[in-house]
């Protein structure tokens, strides 16, 4: 049987890679006519190792390494240059892929940060689809700001560190400037330029797969439908079923064994993502907030990379050095401080009753899937808007901070943290009730008759109807 081939080009960080693999699995499981090749690019920092699948319909092609300075090139410019130098490598890899007569290239599915590759798809005469790994509200926010910037002369810098608000169609409440992604104000390192470039190119694709579901973001999805935006397919929640990277089975076993000994819904899990780390003053405030709250806790504490290095956070050699004196001893019966955490497994554990999160979209979807209430502590990227949406628009989270930025000098006080933790663990809170209901809904949308199941089917039909080579 002639295979209909899709090429996936994910951004090479684990959250994006894992989501791309999971959507690839959904497509090939749903329709056996599809085979998918996922191209793996490699940054000179971090790791993309461990990406594998038992599906015969999915394969990985690791592209040759490229030379782009990771120490002296600013982030926005670095990422753009990194993508550009991969264009000829992707072109050659697709040529190799299509040499077989049994392969019919149907299209490219491109990450939200890999829109340079639309040009390669055009060369092969096939449509591009975007995989947007954040939510529909953020997609609409980016498109709206880009439109206002390009056609109505919006000066984004007017919103920097400001309470000034912007009406955005995909969000119910007006959005204050202080929760705009920091990269929008980054003219020196090229972050603002990069965001605007990619967002303009979102409009060129044939359709946009979004990792969300209608029942979660009904307002945002309705706002996008019927607009000038390409067709939107809400196909989530797409969860990372891999245990994770950066740790090992032995670490996971120790952590899960500790959780097994804790009462149901009693533990607060604190985890801030692959780039989530804090300065010494903030670490101490978190420690005091935890200790004074009296709640059990599991804290994934990570170390910042060296200044000027483009790396992810890592574990501490000696964790006692950064914690208040005697903290580990005083909290030994109720708490555990770790480095890397098997996040999915932890959230799935019955002992976990609350999650202090950086509000990365994957983490928020995972918390919804397992029905764990979230306290927001946004750090970087689009996380401030995610937190704002969860707290203000949807009532699905407790606020610790929605406008925190990891690059600022602001320190959240132990008192603020303690109050947030107490609210998080309130068993009668509206947030906890809403979470319980949304957990049930999130399970239904992906099965036959569910909204995301239908949306994925619509995407496959549209893909098969496309003129292909």
Residues with catalytic roles: 16, 111
Beta bridge partners of 464: none
Beta bridge partners of 103: 3
Integer Cα distance of 459 and 6 in angstroms: 13
The phi, psi pair for 374, rounded to 5°, reads -115, 140
Beta bridge partners of 207: 129, 231
Q: Are 398 and 374 in contact (CB under 8 A)?
A: yes
């Amino acid at each position: 049987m002639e295979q209909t081939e899709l090429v996936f080009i994910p951004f090479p960080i684990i959250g994006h890679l894992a989501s791309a693999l999971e959507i690839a699995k959904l497509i090939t499981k749903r329709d056996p006519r599809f085979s998918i090749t996922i191209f793996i690019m490699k940054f000179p920092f971090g790791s993309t190792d461990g990406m594998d699948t038992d599906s015969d319909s999915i394969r990985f092609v690791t592209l040759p390494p490229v030379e782009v300075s990771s120490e002296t090139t600013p982030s926005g410019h670095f990422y753009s240059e990194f993508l550009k130098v991969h264009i000829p490598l992707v072109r050659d890899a697709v040529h190799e892929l299509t040499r077989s007569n049994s392969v019919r290239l149907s299209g490219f599915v491109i990450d939200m940060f890999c829109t340079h590759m639309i040009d390669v798809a055009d060369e092969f005469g096939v449509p591009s689809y975007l995989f947007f790994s954040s939510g529909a509200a953020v997609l609409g926010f980016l498109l709206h700001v880009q439109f206002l910037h390009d056609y109505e002369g919006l000066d984004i810098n007017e919103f920097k560190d400001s309470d000034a608000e912007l009406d955005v169609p995909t969000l119910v409440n007006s959005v204050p400037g202080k929760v705009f992604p920091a990269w929008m104000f980054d003219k020196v390192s090229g972050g603002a330029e990069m965001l605007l470039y990619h967002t303009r190119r979102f409009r060129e694709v044939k359709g946009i797969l979004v990792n969300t579901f209608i029942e979660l973001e009904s307002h945002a999805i309705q706002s996008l439908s019927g607009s000038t935006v390409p067709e939107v397919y809400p196909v989530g929640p797409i969860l990372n079923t891999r245990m994770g990277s950066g740790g090992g089975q032995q670490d996971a076993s120790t952590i899960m064994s500790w959780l097994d000994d804790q009462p149901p819904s009693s533990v607060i899990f604190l985890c801030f993502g692959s780039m989530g780390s804090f300065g010494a003053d903030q670490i101490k405030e978190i420690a005091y907030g935890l200790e004074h709250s009296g709640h059990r806790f599991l804290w994934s504490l990570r170390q910042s990379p060296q200044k000027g290095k483009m790396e992810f956070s890592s574990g501490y050699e000696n964790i006692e050095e950064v914690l208040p004196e005697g903290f580990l001893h005083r909290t030994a019966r109720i708490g555990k401080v770790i480095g890397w955490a098997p996040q999915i497994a932890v959230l799935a554990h019955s002992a976990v009753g609350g999650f202090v999160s950086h509000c990365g979209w994957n983490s928020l979807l995972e918390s919804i899937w397992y029905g764990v209430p979230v306290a927001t502590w946004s750090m970087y990227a689009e996380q401030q808007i995610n937190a704002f949406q969860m707290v203000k628009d949807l009532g699905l989270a407790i606020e610790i901070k929605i406008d925190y930025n990891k690059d600022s000098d602001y320190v959240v006080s132990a008192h603020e943290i303690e109050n947030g933790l107490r609210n998080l663990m309130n068993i009668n809170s509206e947030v906890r009730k809403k979470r319980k209901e949304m957990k049930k809904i999130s399970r239904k949308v992906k099965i036959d008759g569910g909204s995301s199941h239908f949306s994925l089917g619509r995407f496959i039909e549209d893909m098969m109807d496309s003129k292909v080579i």
